[in-house]
Amino acid sequence: MAIFRHSSEIPDEAKGCVVVIGNFDGVHKGHQTLLADARRAAEGLGAPLAVLTFEPHPRSVFRADDPPFRLTSLRSKAHALQDFGVDHLFVLHFDRAFSQKPAEAFVEEILCADLAARHVVVGWDFCFGHMRRGNVTLLKSMGARLGFGLTAVDPVMTATGDVHSSSIIRRHLREGRPREAAQLLGRPWEIEGRVEKGDQRGRSIGFPTANLALGDYLCPQLGVYAVYAGRDPGVEHGEETAWAAAVANLGRRPTVAGEDLRLEVHLFDFTGDLYGETLRVRLIEFLRPEKKFDGLEALQAQIALDCDQARAILAELGPN
C-alpha cells in the first residue's frame, strides 16, 4: 500500500481511484462496511481503492485539552487498511487553517483536481469543510456536475441495536473489556510504540519487559493483560508481523513507586533485544487490576501466576 502525505503532484497510478473519506479511528466494523462497498465499486470500475484521512485527528485540534482518545495511531490505521486491500492511503495534514477550507473547494481542489476521483464513498452522516457545511447532498450534486459517483453507506448496527462507533469501543476498553472491543473492531485492539529503555527491574526478578509509552492512545483500564506482541516491519515493506504470546502490565508500578504511565510487555520464551524496535501489542484478555504488593518477592510471585494464566488463555485461543 502506498502512503501519500499530500494530495498534490501524485503519480498517475494513484489517480482515478474510488476514494473512501473518513477519520477511520479504530477501522472498526462500521468502517469496514464502507471499505467493502468501496472495494466492490473499485472492482466494478477497474479502479484502485484509496482512503483519504486526516492527521492529526480533528478532535485533537479543536479539543486539544481532552485526555488522549485515539484507538489507532496512523501506523496502526495503515496496517488495518492494508489488511482490507487498500491500494493508496492519502493522509492530509489537518489544522485550523485546513478547517477553514470551504466544502466546495475541498471537492474541486482535492477530490477532483488532485485525485481525479472516479467514485467517492462516505458514511451517511459525513460532514466536511468549513463549519461542516459539506454533506452527502452536496457531494451528490457536485459529483453529478463534476463527473464522480457517490455511495453513502447506511449506519451499521451492533447486536444490541447500537450504531458501530469508536465511542462504544472506547468504553469497553476503559472498563477492561478487550474481547468486547475486539468484537466491534473485528480484530484485537492494539497499542503500537517504540520500545524504550526502562529501569530493567523486571530483568532482575526474572521477567524482562519491553516498555512502551502510550502517547496519544486512549488509556484502557489499568492492570494486567494477556496479549500478543510482535515487531512491526512497517506497511511499506509488505511483511507480516510475527506474533508471540505475552503478558503485559499497563500502569504506574505502585510497588516500586513508579509515576509515569507505561505498558510493560513480557514476551514468553524470548531472548532477543527489542530496544528501539517498534512493537505492536494486542490486548486479548484483562486478567486483574494493577495493585501494590508488599515488596518485589510478592510481586514476582504474582507475575508468575499472571504468566501462567495468560499462557493458558492464549493457548486456548491458538495463534493470533
Among 190, 192, 264, 285, which one carries the catalytic annotation?
264
CA distance 86 to 154: 21
Cis previous bond, 58, omega within 30:
no
167 membership: H or E segment, kind and range: helix 166-174
298 membership: H or E segment, kind and range: helix 296-317
Side chain identity at residue 211, one-letter code: N
CB 59 within 8 A of CB 69: yes
Q: Is position 264 annotated as part of the catalytic site?
A: yes
* β-pair partners for 128: 134
CB 217 within 8 A of CB 272: no
Cell numbers at residue 151, please?
Answer: 455511495
Cell numbers at residue 177, please?
Answer: 473489556
Cβ-Cβ contacts under 8 Å for 305 (sequence gap 6 or more) = none
Q: Is 130 exposed, middle or buried (0-12, 13-18, 19+ CB in 10 A)?
A: middle
CA distance 80 to 73: 11
| DSSP H helical ranges for 46-85 | 58-62, 74-83
Count CA within 13 A, CB hemisphere, residue 184: 25
Cell numbers at residue 141, please?
Answer: 450534486
Pairing of strands 119-123, 149-153: parallel
CB 287 within 8 A of CB 310: yes
- The residues assigned a catalytic role are 264
